[in-house]
Structure 1
Amino acid sequence: MVTTTTTAKAVVLLAVLWLWLAVRGGAAPSCSSVYNKIVPCVGYMTGKADDPSDGCCSGVKELKDMARSNDDLQAICKCISSAAAGLVGFKRDRAVALPGKCGVHVDFPIGPDVDCSKI
């Protein structure tokens, strides 16, 4: 039999957990959210555009803001590495230059063969 006190404690525990997750920021960014940020950069990273678009640079800045913890950085890195590996015409030099062209410092290299576990 579940008592009112047990139910109340469970509700309080769930509320505290929910608040903790909200403050912490929840789970690491998903690959779909990362991909949405870097899709505007494909033209630049494949050499079809001379410079990154405003949308691309906005996405790079948003990715930087999403990286609140080491777990976030690793998740973002893994998603970008996976996307780069599947990108036909991917140019490493452009990917490496991308954050600087957008005025953003990122804490990991960009490319298909990056060991994201070492971040």
Structure 2
Amino acid sequence: MVAGARPAKARQARGAAARKLGRRAEVVAALWLMAKGYRILGFRLATPLGEIDLLAQRGKVLAVVEVKQRTTIEDALDAVTPTQRDRLRRAAAHLSAHRLALRDLSVRLDLIALAPGRAPRHLANAWPDGFGAGA
């Protein structure tokens, strides 16, 4: 065996497991939003300025949703860094400017925090500076 091969495989396995958990969390978040009357417009939307976990609409509000799953809801709520918030703002602005169907909607940045054994927590307009909308 090549030196370092086992740690690389272990890293790959952990990365694959984390991606799988992330996808599950996004599905749970989407179901939660749908139960609240949102229409899901997309999952993992790639823009030149960053990825958007979920894009949802309710009425005239376009919710750009970051999904975080951690061991506690509190950890999930604290998991979004200022850099990530800036990336979300830029990606949201790009998306709403380049998709005609979205231009007339108010853009809002939301967070859905998940933790095992707890109901999801949806923070609508989690970071109001830069965008703001009702609903």
TM range (shorter): 0.3 to 0.5
Decide which structure has the larger Cα Rg and report it. 1
With structure 2 as the length reference, what TM-score do the two structures score?
A: 0.37
Bigger RCO of structures 1 and 2 (CA < 8 A, at least 6 apart):
1
Identify the structure with the greater helix proportion.
1
Identify the structure with the greater strand proportion.
2
